[in-house]
Structure 1
Amino acid sequence: MKIIIAGAGAVGTHLARLMSRDHEDCTLVDEDAERLEGLDSEYDIMTMEGSPTSIKTLKEAGAEDADIFVAVTPDESRNMTSCIMAHAIGAKKTVARIDNYEYLSPKMGSFFRNIGIDSLIYPEVLAAIDINNGLKMSWVRQRWDVHGGALVMLGIKLRATCEILNRPLRELCGPDDPYHIVAVKREGETIIPGGNDELRLNDLAYFMTTKEYIPYIRKIVGKEQYADVKNVIIMGGGKTSVRAALTAPKYLDIKIIETDEHRCEQLNELLSDTDTMVIHGDGRNISLLMEEGIKHTQAFVALTSNAETNILACLTAKRLGVRKTIAMVENLDYVDMAEELDIGTIINKKTIAASHIYQMMLDAKVSNLRSLMMVDADVAEFTAEEGSPVTKKPVKSLGLPFGVAIGGLVRNDVGMLVNGNSQIEAGDTVMIFCHEQKMNKMEKFFKAASIW
């Protein structure tokens, strides 16, 4: 597959890294030579200095026979223009990063396809979805719904109250048990566990279960004392905060604290149809937090543009008694530090956007692909095609690559867990967990093939 990425910012470079690990024919284009410096040697890609809205640059980059052209510069107009031009030259599929929510209206889809833009990506909207999923459960670090919630993956930090520590998983996760452990993060290492592995104190464990067993999971991990989230304080009034507030469950009482007075006025207009309260002030000010009821707040969300500020603010909120904290950490260098400090849920809208685009590049029927930064892994929903290899043998005989786990499947809208004797059928939606970048190796299992 030939791929051209316009824009060597955080989204573009992360996407290039994903392409590099799959050894795809990838060219990264940017006007700034400094942004491109060293990327061609660090990743297995080509780099080109030039404007993505230049026909000459697009032709030199190979847009005429590109399978997919992705424009993720900071400028929405340039992204859309370059996609239109690349399509006119011959690119088979185009994706543009945008920052105008109106463009995502389903009614606009055919319009954009007609002018040469196949897909639109709004990173702040994708981040808001993850934030609100995180707010649904105060005791969960990460929640991922498969097929509309028929299956659920829960990332949970295990404390001393957990009932299932220090016991072999073969005693806990048998064929008839209502959950599987698909991955464990322990002291910086990711483990795809087997029957002899055990869960230990302070592990970050990823549980796969069905919705009706979520209360049971909450009990065995010792999280019943965590109060459900009702009151939320968000620090920072940027686009992600707006999208999160507009799409949050109605039962949440949300306050946004913003330092810029003019932006506060804008927020009041943008959020006029909600019950969100906008407060002018500094979310790091303990006196202000106390005044706004931090002691009775179940979740604190730090969404400023500064990763250090967000991390420190979450630490302060935890010290003041908030159980659930979410931090926007755009600088990937700070992700490990945030994890070591036990911040809670970490959001990086650029990696979320890159994962969403990466999903479009896989040949198999893949949906809802996400990168889990905490465990350096990808999780995605694959649909088994008629006659595909995955439908021809039980799971234990498929010969799946090391580092791959099947968490469960959805058949006729009913979620079910998978064991070695399970037989996947055509049309099943299967949750695949891949550690160490093996998602592209799973495509062949789910695509129709005449020879197994």
Structure 2
Amino acid sequence: NMGIHSLIYPEMLAAKEITTSMRMSWIRQWWEFCGGALILVGVKMRETAEILNTPLCELGGLNTPYHVVAIKRDNETIIPHGNDKILLNDIVYFTTTRKYVPYIRKIVGKEHYADVQNVIIMGGGRIAIRTAQCIPDYMKVKIIEKDLNRCNRLTDLLNDRIMIINGDGRDMNLLLEEGLKNTEAFIALTDNSETNILSCLAAKRMGVNKTVAEVENIDYISMAESLDIGTVINKKLITAGHIYQMMLDADVSNVKCLTFADAEVAEFTVKEKAKITEHQIKDLKLPVEVNIGGMIRNGEGMLVTGNTQIQPDDHVVVFCLNMMIKKIEKYFN
């Protein structure tokens, strides 16, 4: 009634991103397109991965149930080709369908990672409240907050399955008393980026597989990655993706900014007579900074090859480097 077309609540967007990243303890980032018909996962490569040091063209051919859309290596994001190899400590972004997520888990050597059942959240701010409300009921959640008045407020706002603890989350003895060693996920959401990074680093050293840090200082994001602390949440970047989506002329239903990479992932809906329907993908002359990760047709997710012909009403998931989304939207109009 006020004429506002869209409302953006950054803390809620961040909470949803955290909840999504905790679906599985072995992933860094997880996104679903068209209700999960196609999935993008980001995974850090460890020594246990089966696909290290092998050219992508030798990893299964046309029947491979996944597509490597990008590789983050040190400070560089790579759009890979057939001769590229996956190396130790790379963050690799795969597109696949839900059916083959267990297969991805196997080839990246993460089958021994326990699924998330117990969660400790450090800090009781707005993101923590929304995260606790979004976390599935089967997960046991503890929030550690040092301000007593805020603890009382959290008790009023959250249901009884969430345990509220008045204490300093930086106190390692307190964390150990609260079962840190038996916790699968540790989430640091204080208003201090340095505290969040160091706390996640300490949790990692105590054996926690899944750590999530809120890092609002953009300059610290690369440092957080170099320390290997796990998933990094920056509500500015998340919100920017939603705003950017509204500014595009093409029909875009989803835009995600990758935290560690200078890249975005967008879900385009193809219009009638769009340029991208005129040729097979290999003949479209797409920019080298662009990679089509897959598409959804009639509700079914599928991977693409150079011979794929995109049709009107298809939903196409596109990976773009260096702000290329604005330049390629002409293919979809």
Counterpart Cα distance in 1 of 2:34 and 2:291: 18
CA shift at 1:116, angstroms? 2.4
1:267-346 equivalences under 5 Å are 267-272=154-159, 274-346=160-232
In structure 2, what residue type is equivalent to 1:220? I
SS at match of 2:63: coil
1:74-85 equivalences under 5 Å are none
Counterpart Cα distance in 2 of 1:377 and 1:192: 10
- Which structure would you say has the larger Rg? 1
Partner of residue 105 from structure 2, selected from 208, 212, 218: 218
Counterpart Cα distance in 2 of 1:244 and 1:197: 38
Query: Which stretches of structure 1, 4 residues or longer, exceed 2 Å deviation after superposition?
Result: none
Whether 2:301 is the aligned partner of 1:438: answer no
Alignment TM-score, normalising by the size of structure 1: 0.73
Correspondence for 2:43: 156
Counterpart Cα distance in 1 of 2:246 and 2:60: 34
Which structure is higher in RCO with an 8 Å CA cutoff and minimum separation 6? 2
Correspondence for 2:128: 241
In structure 2, what residue type is equivalent to 1:421? N
Whether 2:297 is the aligned partner of 1:411: answer yes
1:51-450 equivalences under 5 Å are 114-172=1-59, 174-272=61-159, 274-447=160-333
Check conservation: 1:173, 1:180, Cα contact below 8 A: no
SS at match of 2:154: helix
Check conservation: 2:233, 2:259, Cα contact below 8 A: no
CA shift at 1:251, angstroms? 1.1
Unaligned runs of 5+ in 1: 1-113, 448-452
Check conservation: 2:73, 2:90, Cα contact below 8 A: yes
Percent of matched pairs sharing the same residue: 59
In structure 1, what residue type is equivalent to 2:108? V
Counterpart Cα distance in 2 of 1:205 and 1:134: 15
CA shift at 1:443, angstroms? 0.9
In structure 2, what residue type is equivalent to 1:184? I
Residue deviations 1:395-449 (CA, integer Å, cap 9, x gap): 11111112100000001110000110011110000000001110001111001xx
Counterpart Cα distance in 1 of 2:89 and 2:9: 35
Residue deviations 1:366-388 (CA, integer Å, cap 9, x gap): 01101102111000100000110
Residue deviations 1:88-117 (CA, integer Å, cap 9, x gap): xxxxxxxxxxxxxxxxxxxxxxxxxx3221
Counterpart Cα distance in 2 of 1:375 and 1:270: 36
SS at match of 1:373: coil
Counterpart Cα distance in 1 of 2:250 and 2:185: 38
In structure 1, what residue type is equivalent to 2:200? C
In structure 1, what residue type is equivalent to 2:219? D
Counterpart Cα distance in 1 of 2:112 and 2:183: 15
Unaligned runs of 5+ in 2: none
In structure 2, what residue type is equivalent to 1:247? C
SS at match of 2:7: strand
1:40-51 equivalences under 5 Å are none
Check conservation: 1:301, 1:325, Cα contact below 8 A: yes
CA shift at 1:260, angstroms? 0.4
CA shift at 1:165, angstroms? 0.6
Counterpart Cα distance in 1 of 2:247 and 2:5: 13
Tell me whether 367-376 or 297-306 shows the greater mean CA deviation: 367-376
SS at match of 2:287: coil
Counterpart Cα distance in 2 of 1:291 and 1:398: 59
CA shift at 1:230, angstroms? 0.4
Counterpart Cα distance in 1 of 2:134 and 2:258: 23
Check conservation: 1:173, 1:179, Cα contact below 8 A: no
In structure 1, what residue type is equivalent to 2:158? L
SS at match of 2:257: strand
Counterpart Cα distance in 1 of 2:283 and 2:319: 18
Aligned length: 333
CA shift at 1:310, angstroms? 0.1
Residue deviations 1:110-163 (CA, integer Å, cap 9, x gap): xxxx32211100001110111001111100000011111111111000001000
Counterpart Cα distance in 2 of 1:442 and 1:434: 9
CA shift at 1:173, angstroms? 5.3
